[in-house]
A and B are shown apart, each in its own frame.
Chain A
Amino acid sequence: MAFWRKMLLPLALVFIPGLLLASIKINAFLLGQGWGLLALLIIIIALVLMYWGFEQGRVSSREVAVIAMLGTIAAAGRVPFASLPGIQPTTFIVIISGFVFGPRAGFMVGSTAGLVSNFFLGQGPWTPWQMFAWGLAGTSAGVLKTGCPRAGKKVMTVFSFLWGYLFGWIMNLWTWTGFIHPLTWESFVATYAASFWFDTLHALGNAAFYLFFGSSFIKILQRFRRRLEVRLLPADS
């Protein structure tokens, strides 16, 4: 078991480029059609790696509970806005969670939101992609925090805005590899052009959420982050 724990990351890192190479070199393996399957496999490996990272770290019961709750809030955010296409606070909540609690927690909040909301809105082949996209949004926000801890309102608003597009672009990969043929630059551009307005709406929604409510939400989260840091003293002292 310990061996596998050590080997998981290098194995996966070899396996993913191996799959990509196999898809180019051995056409019979994919028959020019299996891209949807291959892409799904790569996404699932990436997700497994991210979850594995979470398993390895030291996580207290408080962190588990707060991460789960933030994931639920982000997931629940999808529901009341279901009638407005693209505008939902999920991405925004995932980003500020990652920003305040760090990349690992950000990933967990994002992927939990994707998975859990789909338990209720309907699971589908899009689930791993959404988990991946939102997880990455949270992780990147955490990385941004470590990179420039003083990232202010402007930087974060632009960051949220960009994630509106990035999220759509990751999801487009799903549509493109799964259901469009042939996979050419033309069809790639067409798929991306088709989702442009939808992504723009999502990006604008994110930016608006951050601009108006980012600071108050971050203040709440930071307060809870301070409360997470608990030191247990030995009982006999």
Chain B
Amino acid sequence: MFEGFFYQEKGVFLQSLHPLAAVFYLGGLLVLTLLFTNPLYLLGLLLVILLCIAAVRGWETWETYFRLSLSMMILVIIINPLLVRTGETVIWWGPRLPVFGRLTVSLEAVCYGAAMSVRLLAVISIFCLYNLTVHPDKVLSLLARFASRSALVLSLATRMFPAMLRQMENIREVQAMRGVDFQAGTLKERLSRYAALMNILLLSSLEDSLEIAEAMQARAFGSGKRSCYRQDTWRPRDSLCLGGSLLALAVAVYGQAKGFSTFSFYPQLGYLIPGPMTVVVLIIILLALSVPVVLSWGWQRCPYIKAKI
């Protein structure tokens, strides 16, 4: 059911990045998406993200995400114009409502809603990209250096989640064999059947957890300094990607501070491109962010680059 959401090893370039570089790059993308309001910048970021998704051959997964986010996007587009009254260019005078007063729809609010829905799509696509590129275990092992116990809890839970769903299915089947019908009856009856299921699940899985604890104890958990099972190598490609993300972040902060990349929706729409610097800053940011995409392309096409990075 949720197959697409799982990380799958496809042997593509982006998946071979060091987890730190990958997480930093994705985090940078996220910060930039939440920072910019200029529609041009948001669209540019979305373009880079989509290129990355293409580079990990994740179109099918992305389509699922797109379908899921579509309803939220539409909601954002509808709610914004209806609620916001600060836009000056009113394009529709609506009826009077008891609490809210007269409904008005302004051009500015519609544009803002559209920009925000692009932002929403970009943010969700970043998470789609994250699920496609970064192995959960790698991030957890990165985390384990700083917070070993929390990382252990999280990785145990991640590992047991699919098993738990399978076990739940097992219990459900056993219950069904004994004549319990999970579909029939009122909500209350169905709830009580599900709760009985959870009851059994709780008992048996907590029993299992004590076994896991004994296995950990037997493997000397907590008896001294932790050893490290997995070593990720830091390669030139990671430095390049990290450098690109840092450059993009620095230029973005510069652009925001100087006002090159800002855009005001209210009370009236500002100029999309107030000066040449807006375009320059945008191009630098997009180029810096597309380092992984370019490297990925080179990695596939050019043996020399592949050998060097």
A contacts, CB < 8 Å to B:
28, 31, 33-34, 36-37, 40, 51-52, 54-55, 59-62, 64-73, 75-77, 79-81, 89, 93, 108, 112-113, 115-117, 119-125, 178-182, 186-187, 190, 194, 208-209, 212-213, 216-217, 220-221, 224, 227
Contact = CB atoms under 8 A, between A and B. Distances in A.
Nearest to A116: B157
Chain B binding surface, main DSSP class: helix
B272 to A, nearest CB: 16
**Interface band, chain B:** 35 or more
Nearest to B262: A31
Interface of B: 2, 5-6, 30-31, 34-35, 37, 65, 68, 76, 79-80, 83-84, 86, 100, 112, 116, 119-120, 123-124, 127, 130-131, 136, 147-150, 152-154, 156-158, 160-162, 164-165, 168, 188, 191-192, 194-195, 198-199, 201-203, 205-206, 208-210, 212-213, 216-217, 221-222, 256-257, 262, 265-266
Given A68-B153, A89-B198, A180-B79, A61 B168 contact: no
Nearest to B2: A120
A16 B189 CA distance: 47
Nearest to A187: B83
A108 B210 contact: no
B201 A55 contact: no
Contacts of B262: 31
A108 B152 CA distance: 12
B5 A120 contact: yes
Contact of B136 (A79, A93, A119, A178): A119
Given A40-B34, A52-B147, A220-B206, A209 B153 contact: no
27 contacts: A31-B37, A37-B35, A40-B34, A51-B150, A65-B216, A66-B206, A67-B153, A72-B156, A76-B165, A113-B157, A119-B5, A119-B136, A121-B2, A122-B2, A122-B127, A122-B131, A123-B127, A125-B30, A125-B127, A179-B76, A181-B112, A181-B116, A186-B100, A208-B188, A209-B191, A216-B199, A221-B206
